Structure 1
Amino acid sequence: MGLWKSMVLILLIWHLPVWAACPVWSPARANEEISRLQQQITQWDTSYWQQGISVVDDGVYDQLNAQLTQWQRCFGEDAQVDPSTPPINGTISHPVPHTGVRKLADKQAVQQWLRNRSDIWVQPKVDGVAVTLVYRNGNLIRAISRGNGLKGEDWTQKVLLIPSVPHTTKGLLANSTLQGEIFLLQEQHIQQQSGGMNARSKVAGMMMRQGDSELLRSLAIFIWAWPDGPAVMPERLRLLADAGFGFTQRYTLSVKDADEVERARARWWSTELPFVTDGVVVRMGKEPQARNWLPGQGDWLVAWKYSPVSRVSEVTDIQFSVGKSGKIAVVAILAPVMLDDKRVQRVNVGSVRRWDEWDIAPGDHLLISLAGQGIPRIDEVVWRSTQRTKPTPPKGHFNSLSCFYGTPECQEQFIARLAWLSAKEVLDIEGIGEAGWRELHQVYRFEHIFSWLALTQEQLQSALGISRGGKLWYQFNLSRQRPFTRWISAMGVPLTQATLNASRDSSWQQLQARDESSWRQLPSMGERRTRQMIQWRDNREVNALSNWLAAQRITGFMP
């Protein structure tokens, strides 16, 4: 298990750009941050290895462990290559060392590895804890935890309580050494839906705890190596199945190329399995003699892991935005990480109140995953920086009736209103978005949200260039032909499209003539919505805008 975790650390440090850059800290702060994280990981290790209790998700542990190693290297400390290696209280040598398995990044790397190799097989990379089973004269005489690959602890008494592990064997297996993964039996587990479920830690906990023998009945074993076993894979699989190790034969497939490996990997990702997996192992049928096996030297097999469903990322900044309705949204800017095929650099926190509840500051580390439609979300705050300076949210009272005019304190909501009115479902002004509106507003300092209607073609071309400015002038003029309902939508009228359609109002005068009873008769107009509509209609700035549009001879606003 120690070797496996060392490989994980190397891979995480290599692949996660957030940890490739060293933080700009004073020596005192670096010492404080490193010491605090090191103490936390030590506490997790103690709980995990001495009490069999995992208090943190495996993925979070691995990534923060890699973060610690990176910080130690950045500030000249002696990095612990594998601070998570379990304490080896016993000194039981493996008859055959565990080689570990090298991880490949993608399909292209698998293709490269397959060149000039034949007799290829693929298996699920079962997520559990590794063990050696030693059979002599047909009896299971020893079970050894993986440890550092060369020596482990005596798990014989625990393994003998796992019903699915045969106590006796015969034939070629009567005097054999087997290596495999003890895993937690699942019912209809689909990796794509349920993820890792912290399976590795759960199994380790069961194996480390004293007592709780009944829990061991929920464990099983997947044999992935029979050192010096039969030379050909089919015979190896058949004999293992006959002896009671049926999972190996059922989930070992012959493949010809990387395409078939990819198909098997995708199928095991999305279909029901009796165990948790974190990828696939691709191996040659022919293996070297067991006397040549050494940790880190298993060049006849590789792993292609699944992309993690969640990643730990550092918060580099907190930003605030004010929407057209006046709501303040908080966004955490992240050191970029890859989730699935998406590069994630920001995540929505929600309202200011929600941000206060999360208590997120730059320097904190968040666990990020993808929600429906690939939208990044925060799962939890996994680590908080020792020095936490939180920015101040925008000051001012913002609501659905504020910031129709471009005052200094209204900058963000004002720009949001401009971006809204140019949207396809409103005035459908092509060729301009938020950045373009900021650019124009910076040059001409709009008085209100419709001031752009007064810009000339020359002014637009001066600000944006002849081609772009000319096209936008055409779009601005085209917007004058939009229906009345589109213009009041641009003004933020608090009505649904269904209500607008049902009202059949085509002028400002008709809208003004309605009383409360008239509004209540329209679809979706309850007491609250009616009250909002009347407040909007009677608002002084809204009425000033309607008069300005009338002066611009916009349909529906002229007397």
Structure 2
Amino acid sequence: MRIRMYWLLASLYGFGAQAGCPDWPLPRAKAEISHLQAQLTRWDEAYWQKGESQTSDAVYDRLNAQLTQWKRCFHLEAVQDTPPALARGRTPHPVAHTGLRKLTDASELREWMHQRTSVWVQPKVDGVAVTLVYRQGELQQAISRGDGLYGEDWTGKARHIPAIPQKVAGALKNSVLQGEIFLRRHGHLQKTAGGINARALAAGAMMRREPSSLLKELDVFIWAWPDGPMNMKAKVEALAAEGFSLTKAWTKPVKTRAEIAQWREHWFTTPLPFVTDGVVVRDDSEPAGKFWRPGQSEWAVAWKYPPVKQMTTVKGIRFATGRTGKISVVADLEPVLLDDKWVRHTNIGSVSRWHKWDIAPGDSVAVSLAGQGIPRLDDVVWRVAKRDKPKPPARQSSAAVSCFYASHECEAQFLARLVWLSQKSVLGLSGLGEASWQQLHQAQRFEHLFSWLALAPDALSLTPGFSSRRASQLWHRFSFTRKLPFRQWLKALGLPLPASALQALPDQTWQELSARNETSWQQLPGVGAERARQLVSFIHHPQVSALAEWLSKQQVTGFTDKAL
């Protein structure tokens, strides 16, 4: 349930450690804080007054932590470690809801388990917290969690949930139970399906004024019985005897961290009848209910699953120019940990896509890892009021022949072309990345894309940062490229030919290539009329012809004078 436990936010989301204070003048800071506070208030009103969850708990808590951080940064007001006033209901809890301290990793679990001998683990069922009060064997009250001390009276709704026993006997005749009302699922696989908005659906059903048909699909998982039997085994047996069977089925005795980790992984990857977001680890021993207080529960902790996505702040926007002149936009991020990988930036895509996303420094975004661990932008969860977005550079010609020759306007694209031809599948100049090419270009002032081929060892050794040994090795590597297959040189030149067509190309010389017309190009796989036209235009372009002639003089395979 969306109970924002403010006293835990800093440790739970790591916001204070993750991001420093914004470099804003005080007037802007006040405006941004007011802007964010207004949105959080609107979400609170929708949630607490209408039962509508307009954003996820993760987003709400992350942004609330951000608001708290900003207030501290600019010393604007004291931080109130309490849920919003809207959360406070009118019905007192017989025993306070304490909430759970969230562990960040296995080392914190080890500390918590130190000197504890009787420990139990349960799935952390994702639903809405409730107190059930039984008097003389009958359900007297059902109370929402609220602020932990006062909640709303849900008794009427609880009577429409078949899974909640209306009458109990034995030790439960006069009892106070705390648990989770959740949306029952069939074979829910947490690892692949995630949260599926189950919590919000359960909350909406309980908070609406009129009974919802969804109430019949709800169930309850009892996770606390204050002042009940002294040990967990006796508790779960008594609960099961009166109809609360889930607690017994899903409460497991454990002795080591390894066992807890095994159950955590098992429940994460096994079909379950509910949505979960981690595990709860409980000590057999707990204080009397009269001592329970919100935010104070050292006898039970939560170890949540690693999030599929994380939220972080955009530090800046920069632009990268590719070898064909295409400009891509990169967002630099406050570092965030995803699956043991620190993510510091993500590629947004084209300039038009960036405009569509409307991302500016200071915005909060959700990121995840795509295939091969590549950071991916999933959503913009919050936009700052002041939109200080940088202006993208002017795009060079989209023609395949742009920026073969060095110029101030072409600097980024020219460098991208050099980096491209270093790839193993092109000319295989390993060890020459963007920084090395930039050093060479600045020192030697390349005229065109292949000027490096004519450099002598002495000239290379004069490049700042290049030792004599490295210069000699590089010269030999440059020289070796002259003997590489003709196809690789065509790739280096940027011939706009699909990979399948390049593989099928029978031509071994530039002369053969130059003799092709549009019809002959279309005989190759993947080459249509438009691509054929582009190929003829490319090959006979003056700059390309000049480079082919220059490569001929350098005795490059397929470009020799004889071939031309």
TM bucket (normalised to shorter chain) is over 0.9
Amino acid corresponding to residue 520 of structure 1 in structure 2: Q
* Correspondent of 1:491 among 490, 493, 497: 493
Separation in 2, partners of 1:184, 1:82: 30
Indicate the residue corresponding to 2:441 in structure 1. Answer: 441
**Cα separation, 2, equivalents of 1:83 and 1:56:** 20
* Deviation of 1:8 (Å): 4.3
- State the SS of the aligned residue for 1:408: coil
Counterpart of 1:273, as a letter, is L
What residue in structure 2 maps to residue 30 of structure 1?
29
- Aligned equivalents of 2:82, 2:230: Cα separation in 1: 38
What whole-Å deviation, never above 9, does each CA across 1:412-438 have from its counterpart, x for those lacking one?
111111111110001111221111111
Is 1:480 aligned to 2:482, yes or no? yes
**Contact 1:312 1:367 (8 Å CA) reproduced:** yes
Aligned to 2:130: 131
Q: Verify: 1:184 aligned to 2:186, yes or no.
A: no
**TM-score computed with the length of structure 2 as normaliser:** 0.95
Which digits, 9 at most, give the CA deviation of each residue in 1:327-375, with x for residues without a partner?
1111111111122222111111111111111121222222222233322
Structure 1 residue 16, shift from structure 2 partner: 5.8
- Quick one: distance in 2 between partners of 1:89 and 1:314? 31
Q: CA deviation at 1:75?
A: 0.9
Specify the alignment match of 1:402 in structure 2.
402
The AA in structure 2 aligned to 1:501 is Q
Aligned-residue offset at 1:284: 1.5
**Structure 1 equivalent of residue 546 of structure 2:** 544
Which stretch has the larger CA shift, 204-213 or 541-550?
A: 204-213
Aligned to 1:456: 456
Q: Per the alignment, do residues 512 and 471 of structure 1 end up closer, same or farther by CA in structure 2, a change over 3 Å counting?
A: same
Distance 1:310 1:7 in 2: 23
Give me the whole-angstrom Cα distance separating, in 2, the residues matched to 1:447 and 1:306.
Answer: 55
Contact 2:4-2:61 within 8 A present in 1 as well: no
Map Cα deviations across residues 267-291 of structure 1 (whole Å, 9 max, x no partner).
2122222222111111112333333
> Residue 282 of structure 1 contacts residue 303 of structure 1 at CA under 8 Å; is this kept in 2?
yes
Instruction: Report the equivalent of 2:279.
Output: 280
CA contact (8 A) 2:100 2:297 kept: yes
2:121–2:279 CA contact under 8 A, matched in 1: yes
1:66, distance to aligned residue in structure 2 (A):
0.7
Aligned CA distance change for structure 1 residues 119 and 458 (closer, same or farther; 3 Å): same
Q: Distance in 2 between matches of 1:171 and 1:9?
A: 40
Q: How far is 1:30 from its partner?
A: 0.9
Aligned to 1:415: 415
Q: Structure 1 residues 532, 23: CA separation in 2 closer, same or farther (over 3 Å shift)?
A: same
SS in 2 for 1:317: strand
Alignment of 1:15-164 (within 5 A): 15=15, 17-19=17-19, 21-82=20-81, 84-85=83-84, 87=86, 90-164=89-163
Structure 2 matches for 1:116-265, cutoff 5 A? 116-265=115-264
> 2:353 matched to 1:354?
yes
CA distance in 2, matches of 1:432, 1:194: 43
In structure 2, the residue matched to 1:10 is 10
- SS of residue in 1 equivalent to 2:426: coil
CA distance in 2, matches of 1:472, 1:16: 47
Q: Quote the residue 1:467 is aligned against.
A: 469
Q: Is the 8 A contact 2:184 2:273 kept in 1?
A: yes
Give the distance between the partners of 2:102 and 2:395, measured in 1 at CA: 53
| Structure 1 residue runs of 4 or more that deviate by more than 6 Å after TM superposition | none
CA distance in structure 2 between the partners assigned to 1:166 and 1:226 by the alignment: 15
Question: Do 2:422 and 2:432's aligned partners in 1 also have CA atoms closer than 8 Å?
Answer: yes
The residue type paired with residue 480 of structure 1 is R
User: In the superposition, relative to structure 1, how do residues 229 and 417 fare at CA in structure 2: closer, same or farther (>3 Å)?
Assistant: same
Structure 1 residues 198-207 or 450-459, which shifts more? 198-207
For structure 1, the 5+ residue unaligned runs are: none
Structure 1 CA distance, aligned partners of 2:22 and 2:377? 23
Q: Matched residues in 1 for 2:177 and 2:393: separation?
A: 64
Structure 1 counterpart of 2:406, one-letter code: G
Q: CA offsets, 1:415-464, max 9 Å, x none?
A: 11111111000111122111111111111111111000111112222211
Matched, 1:313 2:312: yes
**What does the per-residue CA deviation read over 1:162-202, in whole Å, with 9 as the maximum and x for residues that have no partner?**
11111111111111111101112223222222222333333
Q: C-alpha displacement at 1:393, in angstroms?
A: 1.6
In structure 1, the partner of 2:537 is 535
Amino acid at match of 2:410: C
CA distance in 1 between counterparts of 2:409 and 2:533 reads 27
For 1:214 and 1:80, locate their aligned partners in 2 and report how far apart those are by CA, in whole Å.
40
Secondary structure, aligned partner of 2:417 = helix
Letter paired with 2:282: R
Preserved CA contact (<8 Å) 1:45 1:84:
no
CA shift in 2, pair 1:541/1:190, >3 Å:
same
TM-score, length basis structure 1: 0.96
**Segment drifting more, 212-221 vs 477-486:** 212-221
Give SS of 2:173's match. helix
Distance 2:7 2:221 in 1: 21
Contact residue 7 and residue 102 of structure 1 kept, 8 A: no
Query: 1-side partners of 2:3 and 2:328: how far apart?
Result: 44
* Equivalent residues of 2:188, 2:275 under 8 A apart: yes
CA deviations over 1:84-117 (Å, ceiling 9, x no partner): 4353664432222222211111011111211211
Q: Which residue of 1 aligns with 2:337?
A: 338
Conserved? CA contact 1:22–1:74, under 8 Å: yes
Q: Name the structure 1 match of 2:526.
A: 524
Q: Which amino acid aligns with 1:350?
A: G
Could you report, residue by residue, the CA deviation over 1:28-81 in whole angstroms, capped at 9, with x for unpaired residues? 111111111111111110011001111112211111111111111111122443
Question: Is 1:322 matched up with 2:324?
Answer: no
SS in 2 for 1:39: helix
Sequence identity, in percent?
Answer: 51
- Give the C-alpha shift of residue 307 in structure 1: 1.9
